[in-house]
Structure formats: C-alpha cells, structure tokens
C-alpha cells in the first residue's frame, strides 16, 4: 500500500510510543509507574457528570448538533472568558465549539496556510503544532525556546525574511512541556510583531487554570489590538478533569473564527449537545473543583521536586501546568535517560527530545497520577539513584 508523504514523514506520536513502551513492560509483569502522559487521574466533578446524564436522556439531543456549537454553550464560554480575563466577546461571531482543543489546533492551519506557507512553531512544543502545519502542506519554522530566555521565544532574533513569509505563529503559555509562563509584557511584544508582519497568532491556553504560588495566567486577548489576529484555544480537559469528554472552544476575532468555522463545517459535525450542556455546567457551576485541583497538583509538585532534588538532579519550580521539566544528568541524552529510568526504577517519563530538537537534554514528569503512586515513584527514584 502506498501511503501519503504527509503520513510517512511524521514521526511516531509521542504519547502512543510511551503507551506502547509501558504496556510492553507490563506484559512482562513489571509494575511501571507512568509519569509520562498528562491525563488527569482526578474524577470529573459530580455536578458535571449529573448534567451529562440528564441531558443525554433527552431525545432532542440525539440529532446532529450545530456546527459552531449550541448558542447556550458559546454564551457560557464567552461569559467565562469575560469573568476570567475581563475580555468581552460576541458569542455568535467570536466563539466556536471544538471537539477538544487538540482537534481545533489540528484543523486550524487549514484555514490559513496554503502549501509552502510558513508557520512559526516553538521548539520544544506540543507536537500537534508541527504536525498540523505539515498536514496542510505548510512549512514549520522553529522558534527556539531556551532556558536562558525562560523558554520564551526571542522574537527579535527571528530573521526579517522569516517574518515576511510567516502566516501563523503557535504559542502555548503556560507551556507544555517546559512549564514556562508568560506575562502581558511578552504578549504585548508578540502582538506588536504579529501586527507588523500580518501574522495570525494561535494561542493554546489549555493550562490557564493550573497555576501555583499566586501566579495568574493572562490571555493574549487582554492585549489591545490582539483580537483581530488571534485565535485562543481553551480546553475543559485539564481544568475540569474532562480529557475523555472531548470538548473545548476557540475564541478570537470574528473574521478568523469565521474562516475556522468554515473548515470545521466541512470536516466534522460538531460536539454532542449533551456534552456541550455538561460543559455549560462546568463553566457556570461551582469552581471549588478548580481550586481543589490546584492544591492537589501543588502538593504533588512539591513532593516530586523534593525527591528529585534529594538525588542531586537539577530542576526548577514550575509556576503552572501539570508538569516538571528536568535536565537529564550529565552523560545521558533524553532518550537514554528515559530508558534508564524505565529499566532501573520502573518509571516512565517523556523524553524532551520528543517535543523537538531543543528539548534534548530534558525529560518531562507529569503530576497526573494518584498521590500514593507518585510517592512510590519518588521512593523508587531515591532507592535507584541516591
């Protein structure tokens, strides 16, 4: 069978590879503790589950949903953005329902890029930014993220000829995999470059509510002049423990949202109405669960950091996300150290190099496993490496 070059040219998807490696060990009888995938172990709050059960029983929801999303859901999304970021949106023209933010990120470049067009893609980064660019024939050009610049791109170092060719720029703060954060001053600089070079900004804000130590994540839309050239992707997956539900939303300028909606009208048939109404219950209901999640992840973060540092490994304290980004010890590369952890301590982590060439020399630990398993994992690491 002859496959398309867009498929042949893609590397194996990171998390599928981690899952395969872990399952192989488990078939051998090994009890692997998996720090590799950022899938919350905490349950979806009961009031959201109850809303789904009630709405799923209604026959009127069993037909095709709206392509753009139910007005009720888009209104709830716009209201949430207004309460959280102080940004007013028109639910009709500036919001769009997504089958999870990953789906939206994967399809959005189809609205902007013709074959050969350039998208600026952070390195390291969530792999879908690069793969979605490749799928539509675009050319990904790396924006290096270095520790010395707090894992923010140095916009001034991007050659002028690259800016002239670029149509789209992906960014993600709070950041996966590095756990870096950005402030409004950086966003203001970014918007200046985007306006000067007619570049559309695609901001993945999936981790906006997983923050610690007083840090509050801003929205790119808070910057004056950002809206008309921004799409921001929001997900209920991490905020409300709804990864399996596949629901999120995009917000931004009316023109770019309309173009995005036209793509989706030709690709999918929308989000199940009962799921959208459960998402309304999440966005408009009690937010205690969000605060509880933060405290759980902060506690896990601190326990993991204590363990890693007690071994003598170098690691910074993250202010956000579900992740700890750690330099590998001297003498290893990312994949070698990942294999070493699996063989010596029966611990699975994500190699930094899977997120791009500039992720080499790091590994990513996820905090999405029960406290007792995390503590056991820390104990294994101490016994194996102290």
Radius of gyration of the chain (CA): 21
Helices in the chain by DSSP H: which ranges?
A: 5-8, 14-27, 46-56, 71-85, 101-107, 128-135, 160-165, 184-197, 254-265, 273-284, 288-311, 334-345, 371-385
- Asked if residue 263 and residue 306 are part of one domain, the reply reads no
More confident residue, 251 or 4: 251
Q: Report how far apart, in Å, the C-alpha atoms of 161 and of each of 156, 164, 165, 229, 257 are.
A: 12, 5, 6, 20, 28
Choose the final residue of a domain: 222, 253, 284: 284
Choose the final residue of a domain: 249, 284, 319: 284
% of the chain at pLDDT higher than 70: 99
Q: How far apart are CA 81 and CA 221, in angstroms?
A: 10
When pLDDT is averaged across residues 29-52 and rounded to a whole number, the result is 95
- Asked if residue 55 and residue 182 are part of one domain, the reply reads yes
- Asked if residue 154 and residue 91 are part of one domain, the reply reads yes
- Asked if residue 252 and residue 187 are part of one domain, the reply reads yes
When pLDDT is averaged across residues 48-75 and rounded to a whole number, the result is 97
Choose the final residue of a domain: 284, 300, 327: 284
When pLDDT is averaged across residues 336-348 and rounded to a whole number, the result is 93
- Asked if residue 108 and residue 33 are part of one domain, the reply reads no
Residue 319: exposure state from Cβ atoms within 10 A (0-12, 13-18, ≥19): middle
- Asked if residue 273 and residue 337 are part of one domain, the reply reads no
- Asked if residue 216 and residue 72 are part of one domain, the reply reads yes
- Could you tell me the residue range of the domain that residue 335 belongs to? 5-43+288-385
Kindly state the tokens that stand for 201: 């900004």
More confident residue, 343 or 94: 94
pLDDT at 25: 84
**DSSP string for residues in 99-159:** SSHHHHHHHGGGGTPPTT-EEEEEES--THHHHHHHHTT-EEEEEEB-GGGTT-B-GGGS-
Helix axes 273-284, 46-56, angle to 10 degrees: 150
More confident residue, 371 or 4: 371
Q: Flag whether pLDDT at 9 surpasses 90.
A: no
Instruction: Say which DSSP state 315 is in.
Output: B
- Asked if residue 375 and residue 234 are part of one domain, the reply reads no
- Beta-carbon contacts of 245 under 8 Å, excluding residues fewer than 6 positions away, are 44, 52, 100, 236, 237, 275, 278, 279
How does residue 23 score in pLDDT terms, banded at 50, 70 and 90? confident
pLDDT at 386: 77
- Asked if residue 240 and residue 209 are part of one domain, the reply reads yes
End-to-end CA separation in angstroms for the chain: 51
Residue 360: CB atoms within 10 A of its CB come to 16
Q: Flag whether pLDDT at 77 surpasses 80.
A: yes
CATH number where 360 lies: 3.90.1150.10
Q: Flag whether pLDDT at 15 surpasses 70.
A: no
Q: Flag whether pLDDT at 13 surpasses 70.
A: no
Q: What is the pLDDT of residues 197-231, one digit of tens each?
A: 999 999 999 999 999 999 999 999 999 999 999 99
- Asked if residue 303 and residue 247 are part of one domain, the reply reads no
Kindly state the tokens that stand for 271: 């989000």
CATH number where 138 lies: 3.40.640.10
CA proximity to 176, closest of 124, 217, 225 = 124
Kindly state the tokens that stand for 141: 């050009």
**Count of the separate structural domains present in the chain:** 2
- Asked if residue 206 and residue 154 are part of one domain, the reply reads yes
- The mean predicted confidence, pLDDT, of the chain is 95
- Asked if residue 299 and residue 273 are part of one domain, the reply reads no
Q: What is the pLDDT of residues 264-313, one digit of tens each?
A: 999 999 999 999 999 999 999 999 999 999 999 999 999 999 999 999 99
């Amino acid at each position: 069978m002859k496959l398309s070059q867009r498929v042949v040219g893609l590397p194996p998807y990171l998390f599928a590879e981690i899952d395969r490696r872990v399952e192989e060990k488990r078939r051998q009888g090994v009890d692997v503790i998996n720090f590799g995938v950022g899938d919350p172990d905490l349950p979806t709050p009961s009031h959201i589950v109850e809303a789904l059960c009630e709405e799923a029983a209604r026959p009127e929801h069993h037909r095709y949903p709206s392509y753009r999303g139910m007005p009720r859901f888009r209104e709830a999304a716009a209201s949430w953005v207004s309460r959280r970021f102080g940004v007013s949106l028109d639910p009709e023209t500036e919001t769009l329902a997504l089958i999870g933010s990953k789906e939206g990120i994967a399809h959005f470049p189809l609205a902007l890029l013709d074959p050969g067009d350039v998208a600026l893609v952070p390195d390291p980064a969530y792999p879908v930014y690069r793969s979605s660019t490749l799928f539509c024939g675009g050319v990904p050009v790396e924006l290096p993220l270095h520790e010395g610049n707090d894992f923010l791109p140095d916009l001034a170092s991007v050659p002028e000829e690259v800016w002239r060719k670029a149509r789209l720029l992906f960014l993600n703060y709070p950041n996966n995999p590095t756990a870096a954060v950005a402030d409004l001053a950086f966003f203001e600089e970014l918007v200046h470059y985007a306006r000067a070079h007619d570049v559309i900004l695609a901001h993945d804000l999936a981790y906006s509510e997983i923050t610690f130590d007083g840090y509050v994540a801003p929205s790119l839309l808070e910057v004056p002049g950002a809206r008309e050239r921004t799409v921001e992707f929001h997900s209920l997956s991490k905020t409300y423990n709804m990864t399996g539900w596949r629901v999120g939303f995009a917000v931004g300028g009316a023109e770019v949202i309309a173009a995005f909606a036209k793509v989706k009208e030709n690709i999918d048939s929308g989000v199940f109405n009962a799921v959208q109404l459960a998402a309304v219950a999440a966005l408009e209901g009690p937010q205690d669960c969000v605060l509880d999640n933060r405290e759980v992840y902060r506690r896990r973060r601190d326990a993991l950091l204590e363990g890693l540092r007690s071994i003598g490994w170098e690691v910074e304290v993250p202010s956000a996300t579900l992740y700890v980004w750690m330099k590998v010890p001297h003498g290893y590369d990312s994949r070698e150290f990942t294999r070493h952890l699996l063989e010596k301590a029966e611990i699975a982590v994500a190699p930094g190099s899977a997120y791009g060439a500039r992720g080499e020399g790091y590994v990513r630990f996820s905090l999405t496993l029960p406290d007792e398993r995390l503590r056991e994992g820390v104990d294994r690491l101490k016994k194996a490496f102290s």
